[in-house]
Structure 1
Amino acid sequence: MPTDNINKAASSKTKAILTSRRGREHGSMSTSVNRYDSDTDGQLPYPVRSRLNELFSQIEKEFETIYLENQSLQEKVEALQERLDSYSGVLEKHGGETQDTVDVGPSVKQPKRSSQLSQKIKTTYKASTSKIVSSFRQASPAYSVVREFTGHRDGVWEVSIARTNQSYIGTASADHSARLWDIESGQCTLQYCGHQGSVNAIRFHPSQELVLTASGDGMAHIWRAQINAPSHDTVKLHHSSGEDEIDGSEKEEAVEEQTDSKVTEISTLRTPNRELGGHMGVVIAADWMAGGSQVITASWDRTAILFDTESGDQVSMLSGHDLELTDVRAHSSQKLVVTSSKDTTFRLWDFRDPNMPVSVFQGHTQPVTTARFARQDKVVSGSDDRTVKVWDLKNMRSPIATIRLDSAINRLSVSPNQNIIAIPHDNRHIRLYDINGNRIGRLPRSNRLGHGKMVCSVDWAEENTLCNLFSCSFDRQVLGWHINLQTKE
């Protein structure tokens, strides 16, 4: 339909504009114009470049406005369609009863009997509808937002749960920082500012209080989480956005938040324990290998590199993808790695064999944005082709389940105990499916609930009783959800 076509075009344009920011943050790694560069950094005079930046900003805002308007229209159409389907079902049910109960009698009596049956249908239909509406009002919500984590000054690319202590989460942001948050209080306990570019991924060590971050500056850093200990520097920050990077209504909202918010002391760490270099482009993701003695990084230079964490030396370089990598995930207990790529494939690397065999999965038609392991030797992959596929490592020729959706997929998460797939979308939705591809529900989203821009990443925390799912978005927010997995939508 026309609305869907407009949504698709607007979504693609918006995502291209937003995601291009991951790698343009640092020095020679960037090929785009920076509005804060001096006149000597480029060939164009400063006034010209400033005007171009302003025009590009207006274009980006216009695309985003069109996208949001069409999403709103599409949701209204979906809601009306659902109501129409439910009403049609009730009418069909009572219509069948009418045909079964009508007697063909004398012609003089038929109009009266037909009128009585019609009135009976109306009464029954009204009662059924009232009962359905009443049940909707009385039902307790299956999904709710419990915590909001605000403070980043730019979009948040990834959220990750601490493995050693599931009362903490970590976030990676385009504002060049990573943060640790206490789930109970919702406060930031530590921010890491050691990178010179957008922080694209954050992952926790499986057994120690160490954190791994990947950045647009071409580096991956290992630094100490210091969850229970203060760091060297302490600064006072307001939980609001910087005015130098926003304008219009967003700036007014930020001023209101800054007026009402309390000044909070946040520990700041600037020096990593280990710097991992070697890539020739943006490091888009990094993860700990099983055991935590090695890490694997993925880059826009189309390679992945295996590092030794103690020495920082390269152990192996993985090449073979035809285009930029988008994500990397390591198996929690075995020496297996999956790398996702814009070349429409993801690859399984087996480090258990000295020959390191590689399996290529070719089930998607557009860039694979995410692929991660699920229990029972399965891999779940998501793509810009609007599908999520579940694969069995014992039979990799075709997926065992395919979930078809209405928007591009970002970094998904699979709950370790119940195998529930949480799927974040470009259209601001978060959908839940089981490992067999059966729909469980969709997290609510409105002006007061949910995210205002594309959802970049989600992560499960089943052991946490307060919030068991976390999501982050380019609206600069991180949300903690309580999901009642026993109640289906």
Structure 2
Amino acid sequence: MAPQTPCEEDVDFSDKDEADNEVEGPIDCPSVRVATTTLRSHQGVVIAADWLVGGKQVVTASWDRAANLYDVETSELVHSLTGHDQELTHCCTHPTQRLVVTSSRDTTFRLWDFRDPSIHSVNVFQGHTDTVTSAVFTVGDNVVSGSDDRTVKVWDLKNMRSPIATIRTDSAVNRISVSVNQKIIALPHDNRQVRLFDMSGVRLARLPRSNRQGHRRMVCCSAWCEDNTSCNLFTCGFDRQAIGWNINIPALLQEK
């Protein structure tokens, strides 16, 4: 395990305060009772889904080791993308191009090109030594991948033979997300930490993880909202919480 920096407390996995966040009584909110469509054909747990640019097709990732491309209007399976040796963990689509990345427990992630009618895997990337928990596109020509091997790697789509930056941490990295506007990578960890890095691998900050602020159990994913100025990052954890944060880079740099 990598040595901790002075600003990081010892990890406490205690659940003794978990009851503090129990919701008392039912929550009065409307429910959507009828689904618009149901997409079938996976043989295992469906772990992730993302819209392909244009909004008419969706890609799903499953523990059956396949990613499926569906037509949303007809609910028909268009293509099944196979090749991973173990369960898929995540899928992500490019914001402006018909490209998809899928990550897997087989320690790889794959780049698929939907611009070509033949639909083929452009490349298999083997830069990690353990499960790739997620791989996401960023603005421009970059892909960022996170892994249980405690690293996050930044790749250039134009030359993906080796990463252009590697972030090494002291805990497994779960489902990452990248702020398009601020170009910040949010790393949710098994040890309750959420760390923020820039695209060159420089650490910017970490979010609180005390009993009254932050998560008390594993943080499983993060999600940025570029348009919300008061709450632009959400993190979700095994403590049954989704926590919103206001991340302001100039303020963070001043605190450092």
Q: CA distance change for structure 1 residues 377 and 249 in 2, over 3 Å: closer, same or farther? A: closer
Match of 2:183 in 1: 419
Alignment of 1:230-249 (within 5 A): none
CA shift, 1:80, in A, is 8.3
How does the TM-score come out when normalised to structure 1? 0.48
Counterpart residue number, 1:312: 75
Matches within 5 A, 1:10-25: none
Whole-Å Cα distance in 2 between the matches of residues 401 and 385 of structure 1? 15
Cα distance in 1, alignment partners of residues 52 and 67 from structure 2: 13
| Residue pairs, 1:9-48, within 5 angstroms | none
Look up the equivalent residue of 1:444 and give its one-letter code: P
Tell me the secondary structure at the aligned position of residue 223 of structure 2. Answer: strand
Among 130, 133, 137, the residue aligned to 1:366? 130
- 1:23-422 to structure 2, matched below 5 A, reads 78-79=5-6, 250=18, 253=20, 258=24, 264-358=27-121, 359-422=123-186
Distance apart, 1:483 and its partner CA = 1.3
Does residue 470 of structure 1 match 2:228? no
State the distance in 2 between where 1:426 and 1:389 align: 18
Equivalents in 2 of 1:310, 1:483: separation in Å?
37
Question: Per-residue deviation at 1:250?
Answer: 4.8
The residue type paired with residue 387 of structure 1 is T
Structure 2 residue identity aligned to 1:266: C
Q: CA deviation at 1:390?
A: 0.4
Q: Which runs of 5+ in 2 are unaligned?
A: 10-14
SS at match of 1:267: coil
Residues 172-216 of structure 1 deviation map (CA, whole Å, 9 limit, x = unaligned): xxxxxxxxxxxxxxxxxxxxxxxxxxxxxxxxxxxxxxxxxxxxx
**Alignment deviations for residues 308-353 of structure 1 (CA, whole Å, 9 cap, x no partner):** 0000001001000000000001111110000000000000000111
Q: Which residue in the other structure is 2:12 paired with? A: none
Which one of the candidate residues 224, 228, 245 is aligned to 1:460? Answer: 224
Looking at structure 1, the residues matched to 91 and 64 of structure 2 have their Cα atoms a distance apart, in angstroms, of 14
Structure 1 stretches of 5 or more lacking a match?
A: 6-73, 83-246
In the superposition, relative to structure 1, how do residues 269 and 331 fare at CA in structure 2: closer, same or farther (>3 Å)? same
Per the alignment, residue 149 of structure 1 pairs with: none
1:269 deviation in Å? Answer: 1.6
Q: Distance in 2 between matches of 1:390 and 1:481?
A: 24
CA distance in 2: counterparts of 1:80 and 1:427, whole angstroms: 15
- How far the C-alpha of 1:382 sits from its partner, in A, is 0.2
What secondary structure sits across from 2:246 in the alignment?
strand
Within 2, Cα distance between the matches of 1:442 and 1:249? Answer: 22
Cα gap change, 1:354 to 1:249, in 2 (>3 Å): closer
**Partner Cα distance (2:77, 2:246) in 1:** 41
**Given the alignment, which residue of 195, 198, 220 partners 1:431?**
195
Number of the residue aligned with 1:106: none
Q: Give 1:254 shift.
A: 6.4
Shift of 1:270: 2.5
1:369/1:254 Cα in 2 relative to 1: closer, same or farther (>3 Å)?
A: closer
Q: Which structure shows the bigger proportion of residues in strand conformation?
A: 2
Corresponding letter in the other structure for 2:39: L
Normalised to the residue count of structure 2, the TM-score between the two structures is: 0.90
Deviation at 1:79, TM superposition (A): 3.2
1:477-488 matched pairs, under 5 angstroms: 477-486=241-250, 487-488=252-253
**CA pair 311-361 structure 1, distance change in 2 beyond 3 A:** same
- Residue identity (%): 59
Question: What is the one-letter code of the residue matched to 2:6?
Answer: A
Structure 1 stretches of 4+ with a deviation exceeding 6 A read none
More helix by share: 1
Residue 447 of structure 1: CA displacement?
1.8
Equivalent-residue separation in structure 1 for 2:125 and 2:173 (angstroms): 17
- CA drift of 1:354 comes to 1.9
Q: CA RMSD in A?
A: 2.2
Spell out, residue by residue over 1:110-150, the C-alpha distance to the aligned partner (whole angstroms, 9 max, x if none): xxxxxxxxxxxxxxxxxxxxxxxxxxxxxxxxxxxxxxxxx
Q: Which amino acid aligns with 1:336?
A: L
Task: From the superposition, tell whether residues 254 and 352 of structure 1 become closer, same or farther in structure 2 (CA, over 3 Å).
Answer: closer
